[in-house]
Chain A
Amino acid sequence: MEKGKGLARRWAVELPDASSSSPAVPDPPGFTRSAPDADDAAGARQRKDSEAAWKAQKAWEVAQAPFKNLMMMGFMMWMAGSTVHLFSIGITFSALWQPLNALRSVGKVFEPFKDPRVDTIAPKLLFIALNLAAMGLGIWKLNTLGLLPTNPSDWVSSLAPAREVEYAGGGLPLI
């Protein structure tokens, strides 16, 4: 992928050189520049267009990939149940971790499809949205497991008893 990209770029870089040199050296007689040039340019454009389309398509595909993931995660979570044990905790944390990882590397994922003619913003947004949805699912799962401090009990359960001002001792007299 990397190498191919480099070659394509070298091509693109040498072209303007050729065009700039063309006025200096006259064309040989009987050589009509326009026809093959146009032909060639048309082919290249066509190729480029198809490549861009392919890139865009791929980008969309990549952007939609988390959806499948999402569905699978949902299924796994449903399978895991709502009690806290090793399996459900593992699933929940992977459900939280995967989207987080994906979000961190969102630039990297869409780098191959970087092209001035390809609009990667929309796929990127979709990708982010889907991953956020996956993360939301994970958090929701965490909540259903009761691991989120959303209840007053989570905040007061470790609160020490308040100090008492008065103290009264005594009781039955000693016998």
Chain B
Amino acid sequence: MSSDVLTLSSGGTILRAWNLPDGLMIWETNLRTSTASNSQLHVMSNNKAARDNLVLVSAGRWIYAVSSIDGAISWEKEFSLDDLEIKRILQSPENDVVYALGLAGSSKLALYHLSAKTGEILKDIQESFPGGLCGKTVLGSDNVFVALDKARSSLLLIEFKGERISYNKVLVSDLVQDLSGSFELQSLSSDIISLQTSSSISLLKLKGTDGLEVLQRFDQPAAVSDSLPITEKEKAFAVVQHLGSEIEFIVKFTSDLSSEIIREKVNIDQNKGNVERVFLNSYIRTDKSHGFRALVVMEDHSLLLIQQGEVVWSRDDGLASIVDVTTSELPVEKDGVSVAGVEHNLFEWLKGHMLKLKGTLMLANADEVAAIQALRLKSSEKNKMTRDHNGFRKLLVVLTKAGKVMTLHTGDGRVIWSKLLPSLRASRFGGVPSALRIYQWQVPHHSVMRENPSVLVVGRTGAESSAPGVFSILDSYSGEELNSMKLDHSVFQIIPLTLKDSSEQRLYLILDSNSNAHLYPKSADTLNIFLHEMSNLYFYSVDIQANVIKGYSLQKSCDLNFGDDYCFSTKELWSIIFPSDSERIVISETRNMNEVVHTQAKTIGDHDVMYKYLSKNLVFVATLSPKAAGDIGSVLPEEASLVAYLIDAVTGRILHRVTHHGAQGPVHAVLSENWVVYHYFNLRAHRFEMAVIEIYDQSRADNKDVMKLILGKHNLSAPITSYARPEVAVKSQSYFFTHSVKAMAVTQTAKGITSKQLLIGTIGDQVLALDKRYLDPRRSVNPTQQEKEEGIIPLTDSLPIIPQSFVTHSHQVEALRGIVSIPAKLESTTLVFTYGVDLFYTQLAPSRTYDSLTDEFSYALLLITIAVLVAAIIVTWIWSEKKELGDKWR
């Protein structure tokens, strides 16, 4: 039993036992609990050394007792009290009675005495509290329970052993003077409780139900660990507090709070924020005394291991929760300027060369070989901090959930800079700011080449959508915060406009929850540009709750504050209301704003032309019948259907609508150029399906006269307006697909000439690159000769999955969430960044690298061939001259 680990997962429904030495799963038990409840696991300790211990799982009103040998459920008990939530399970010293303590509603406390053998209720005590309880509770000692009342102003000390429940009330303000905001309770030992507020930690001693006494107080922002049993009686715990740029690591025993075992100061990076959590761990030193190390979780979700006054290692685990990604170009290479602190001094340089020399002469030992490798990597072409000709080297600027912006180099994934944004820092007990999006703010080109590019981070000061927004503008090269502003309106939607002002700043329109639009950046220049274009700007919003899509136009001056020139009101132009009883919106997709399309025509096999319907305003919306939104298998095929819409977002015109009967979600879609590909589950065929819709513009289809085209007498370059009546032709097809999908994207290239590949994040956390040619609605079972020449693949019922086309190779991107494709300067190549818990980056060439020579290309051979040819030409020329001369003399 000592070598087993028990895990409760999937919202408290699956209990598993694992063998610790080899990780084998011993047994698994499924428990029926409501997923909303907060489930808990309690292992009964058995002093009688019998092997069969009971594992108690509580969730909501249920208690399950599971045998630890085979996972069989010994008994289960559902309590009859409504809204009961079991908070704690305890056992009597004799192991025959189980105490279950639960809260019902907000004011009722219930205590059940259960037989450990059968689960019978032996005793049932209930007590109501007039002030109510807030639900947060902590166990004080064996028979005292400390709970917080609803007003969060006093602590209730509840004694529950015995015949009835008795309690005593202690005001928090008596213990901690400057109480602001909320606070947390944590039990350290049977009578020590820590009370943490946003600015301090107090250690309290429990004196039965009589009251609490403050033993010690830490006035800096700090965190306290759980207590760790060291010996039979002793428990140790750690407190980590901030002291200026350092953190102080203090270890104490619970038996004697006045003395300290360890007090160490550790220097840490200021960009990591405050300490969030501390986990203490002990080891035995060589002199048999106890040493302590601590794992510290920082505000930016990074981990530090502290031991003997220094950081042993640290990990940026904030990168596991990426919210949004953008890219930035690296600085242009300039003579004599070494970028980003790549420092060279003569000694280093000499040392490096000595090492390399040793390496070539095979005199280097293993360490030196590693050092040479590291040097090579560092000086390698792909890791340079300058812009390259092909645009392969870029900075990936990522925004993490903790409000930290980090920049990764595409060469080796190293972090160039990181910045914890002060405006998005969560005070642990206050409002929770959320990081929303990151955009390119200024991308300098020609005229303002000397300036550094900058990125814009948009966030909210609170979790709710009406909380005011926050802007933060960062320099892409240094991470320095150039500007930070708190907006006086909420951020409901962000619309990056295609417009730029004279300093290459992009224009953004922020919509607040009152449907007012705010223009950024706020300058007269941008306002002029915007007003010039305003009549052609629209926006639409997809409301999943109300099942409505609405389109708006912008109007000058908003009704809120008249003086604000940068605020615009909106006017509803159109709305599409879906019938809620048969259709629910599940997904809305649009084209990537930065997508470049090379041509508007598609040439088909017989040299004919089809004109693509290319509109940035095309929106794909999919709805599911309400029943089909649930889990697969929960609905009959007759009741499930998926309806796909193609909508023009300017006019609200539905360009195409198609129904898939017997289809179920989840739906994933990607829209690019003139096509959309979406993935769903086909209930009739019991397989996943992928469908493609291609949309063509029929109003331009008669532009087929060669002479007119030669002379330029056609309407193909005339600007398109959505208000012209579109005549579209649609082609569609669907195919079976083996995998379930987590994310979908499409490759983007610089000019849009290269053929496209779909990037499909599969359920196995891999990324599959699937040629768009497989999703061509013109595929047929027997393509004609012409169609074959065109490259149309004969139709098959399912899409082939070629093992070699997994771009992640054998790697898995754990918990894959998003795939981003960034065009390189080289047309054939695109950069693919995949994020989840793991990060994965690679370069893809969907049509092979047709515009550059491969790395394997032997330039030496080419040069040698040229040299040999030149030599041969010279030699033969001399020969022929000589021979001619000889002939003349003859």
Contacts and interface: CB of A to CB of B under 8 A. Distances in A.
Interaction A to B: yes
Interface in A150-175: 150-175
Contact of A174 (B494, B498, B538): B494
Contacts, number: 143
A146 interface: yes
A83 to B, nearest CB: 8
Contact of B540 (A154, A158, A171): A171
Contacts of B492: 173-174
Given A165-B536, A167-B536, A169-B497, A152 B705 contact: yes
A110 to B, nearest CB: 32
Interface string B500-512: 0000000001010
Contact of A165 (B497, B607, B721): B721
Interface string B688-714: 000000000000000111100110001
Nearest to A165: B721
Interface in A119-150: 146, 149-150
A159 B599 CA distance: 5
B815 interface: no
Nearest to A146: B607
A161 B600 contact: yes
A160 B612 CA distance: 11
A174 B603 contact: no
Interface in B387-409: none
Given A151-B607, A167-B616, A171-B588, A159 B541 contact: no
B273 to A, nearest CB: 24
Interface residues of A, number: 28
Contacts of B494: 174
B531 interface: no
B470 interface: no
B134 interface: no
Interface residues of B, number: 61
Contact of B716 (A153, A162, A167, A174): A162
A162 B720 contact: yes
Given A150-B706, A171-B542, A172-B544, A163 B719 contact: yes
B720 A158 contact: no
B495 A170 contact: yes
Contacts of B540: 168-171
A153 B588 contact: no
B703 A168 contact: no
A164 B721 CA distance: 6
A155 B603 CA distance: 11
A119 to B, nearest CB: 42
A166 B538 contact: yes
B600 A167 contact: no
B854 to A, nearest CB: 21
Contacts of A153: 601, 603-604, 607-609
B536 A170 contact: no
Contact of B650 (A154, A159, A166): A166
B704 A152 contact: yes
B609 A167 contact: no
Contacts of B511: 170
B718 interface: yes
B271 interface: no
Given A156-B600, A157-B599, A174-B437, A168 B704 contact: no
Given A164-B615, A173-B493, A158 B599 contact: yes
B865 interface: no
B537 A167 contact: yes
A167 B436 CA distance: 23
A161 B614 contact: yes
A149 to B, nearest CB: 8
B722 interface: yes
B718 A162 contact: yes
B496 interface: yes
A150 to B, nearest CB: 6
Given A151-B607, A159-B601, A161-B614, A168 B539 contact: yes
B826 interface: no
A165 B493 CA distance: 22
Contacts of A155: 706, 709-710
B385 interface: no
Contacts of B543: 173
A164 B590 CA distance: 16
B539 to A, nearest CB: 4
Contacts of B709: 152, 155-156
Going nearest first, the 6 A-B pairs with the smallest beta carbon separation are A169-B495, A151-B607, A168-B649, A155-B709, A168-B538, A153-B603
Given A161-B600, A164-B615, A169-B537, 19 more contacts: A151-B608, A151-B609, A152-B704, A155-B710, A156-B600, A156-B609, A157-B603, A162-B717, A164-B616, A164-B721, A166-B537, A167-B533, A167-B536, A169-B538, A170-B493, A170-B511, A171-B590, A173-B465, A173-B492
Interface of B: 436-437, 465, 491-498, 509, 511, 533, 536-544, 551, 588, 590, 593, 597-601, 603-604, 607-609, 611-612, 614-617, 619, 649-650, 703-706, 709-710, 714, 716-723
